[in-house]
Amino acid sequence: MNNDNNVGNINRNEPLPLCVVPGLNQRIAAMLEQKAGILGATELFEALQERRLETLPDLGMNELKQNLERWQANNKMSLGFALERAREFAGKISAFDSNIVRIEVTGALRRAEELVEQVSLIAVSNDTYDTLEAFLKLPEIAEVRKRRDYKADVTLQNGLKLEFITCFPEQLATTWALTTGTTEHRTQLRNLAYKYGYELSLGGFLKREDVWPAKDEEEVFRYLGLPYIPPELRNGNGEIEAIQKGEMSLDLVTLSGIKGDLHVHSTWGNGSTTIEEMARAAIKRGYHYLLLADHAGQNANLAKLLQQRAEIYRVNDVLAREGYNFSLLWGAEVEILPDGTLSLPDEILSQLEIVVATMLSGLHQERKQITERLIKAMQNPHVDIVAHPTGRILNLCEPADLFMLKIFVAARETGTVLEINGNPDRLDLKAEYIQQALEEKAKLVISSGAHSTQALAHLEYGVLTARRGAARASEILNTLELNKFKAALK
Ligand SMILES: [Zn+2]
């Protein structure tokens, strides 16, 4: 699964602290830093793979290596990683067989699960037999793990596990509906069909010898007496009952409804793109505002922040003269220190347009302490948004042991907004927390946390996660235009 930019799923642009490595204690971390100059997780993974650490005194390296291997073996793909690969591969395979009319993502990936084992694709074809035959001859396939007459489970040369399902055009609606949801969800759909005297199969609704195809998924659900259920909600954990009782709203937030990104970095911090490039990329994505939130730790200085503000104003002027309805906002990502105070003094915070606060280190504090720490930061009148609130890194770093209910209540009471970070290795808040936060009436935004223009696209994974958390557009603040958005902040 590794390529030039990734170790596992981890993007090298994103600095990862050593603490994310399973089983790595402070003593070893200090030793690695002093003896080998290794400061981050990615550097450590590389050094281990290249066997550069074998001369070091025994630091528990063997155990560390085993942990690393176990991590890599158990590693499911992140949503973002899998979706990118699925789209890339789907783009290629539509060319290999002229019978293919359409390729669609299905399964866990379409439900937007945060980690997926395999990519599932449906190839809609005018000749499913030929399509499957042609697919199995692709040079990208390293191993065929399972084969049936309509589908094959394969592993690609690059390690990607792929489930390739074929169907005829008139079978797409039922095939899609029966391959998207979890087993529980699909069983419930089948049971509903039985209730109406039909059998729901991949090929259509069956009754004795007759087959009724459905024209689209809306129709499949309508036949079952249901409204269209967004794929992200098809988890078989009570959504069908909730929908039948009218307790679940289905007008979920969409990417096209997002008006701005509230957490990006530039070359003024540790990003790779200038402020102006970031702004122009945001305009291309259809946004009306963008918050620069470069890291401002304890050694950040006011002079530099003011220079950055001048640059932001300059770019805003240029863009306004070009006629764009777009505003760059001057902000910073300040650190919430272990005692709950912030890395910048109030007199600087009060000058920034929007302050994003985050816990970057000391995430292993015990529950009471870290919960109070975050609440104390939220009580600061200048803190507008808390970024990636739990600090988890998928596959690597456990979330902080926060009393989440208290966090959501404090967010509501202080008017602090909680971020849904779309970085595929974070997705923080996660779906379950998004749902709980909304029940507690906490305010939420979806941000990319991008360090480059390409990573602005990560906001989509945040949207998908918000949809899994059943968030409606009206519950996400950055679906608002800028003046209303600003008015909704504390
Ligand atoms: Zn950031």
Q: In angstroms, rounded to a whole number, what is the distance separating the alpha carbons of residues 206 and 138?
A: 34
Spell out which residues have Cβ within 5 A of ligand 1, the ion.
333, 449
CA 375 to centroid of ligand 1, rounded, Å? 20
Pairing of strands 115-116, 77-78: antiparallel
- Residue 24's pLDDT is 67
CA 422 to centroid of ligand 1, rounded, Å? 11
Q: In angstroms, rounded to a whole number, what is the distance separating the alpha carbons of residues 336 and 218?
A: 47
Strands, E assignment, 58-184: 77-78, 100-106, 115-116, 119-125, 141-147, 151-156, 161-167
**Type and span of the H or E element at 465:** helix 459-468
Residues 36, 39, 40, 45: what is their CA dihedral angle, to the nearest 10 degrees? 0
Architecture of domain 78-167: 2-Layer Sandwich (3.30)
Question: DSSP code of 119?
Answer: E
List for the chain the helix, strand, coil content (%; round to 5). Answer: 40, 20, 40
In the predicted structure, residue 3 carries a pLDDT above the cut 50? no
CA 263 to centroid of ligand 1, rounded, Å? 6
In the predicted structure, residue 11 carries a pLDDT above the cut 50? no
CA 363 to centroid of ligand 1, rounded, Å? 16
- Residue 5's pLDDT is 36
CA 252 to centroid of ligand 1, rounded, Å? 26
- Residue 49's pLDDT is 66
CA 431 to centroid of ligand 1, rounded, Å? 20
CA 313 to centroid of ligand 1, rounded, Å? 21
Residue 460 vs residue 247, higher pLDDT = 460
* Helices and strands counted in the chain (H then E): 18, 20
CA 332 to centroid of ligand 1, rounded, Å? 9
Question: What are the CA-CA distances from residue 64 to residues 19, 23, 71 (Å)?
Answer: 12, 7, 10
CA 356 to centroid of ligand 1, rounded, Å? 9
- Residue 60's pLDDT is 65
**Interval 412-434: pLDDT, tens:** 999 999 999 999 989 999 999 99
- Dihedral (CA of 373, 268, 275, 15) sign: negative
In this prediction, residue 57 has a pLDDT band, given cuts at 50, 70 and 90, of low
What does the angle CA 406 – CA 410 – CA 414 come to, to the nearest 5 degrees? 180
CA 358 to centroid of ligand 1, rounded, Å? 8
CATH topology of domain 171-244: Beta Polymerase; domain 3 (3.30.210)
Locate 44 and state its tokens. 């450590």
- Residue 226's pLDDT is 96
Locate 114 and state its tokens. 């945060």
- Residue 73's pLDDT is 57
**Interval 437-447: pLDDT, tens:** 999 999 999 99
CA 293 to centroid of ligand 1, rounded, Å? 7
CA 299 to centroid of ligand 1, rounded, Å? 16
* pTM value surpassing 0.85: yes
CATH topology of domain 255-488: TIM Barrel (3.20.20)
- Residue 9's pLDDT is 42
CA 449 to centroid of ligand 1, rounded, Å? 5
- Residue 61's pLDDT is 65
CA 340 to centroid of ligand 1, rounded, Å? 18
- Residue 19's pLDDT is 62
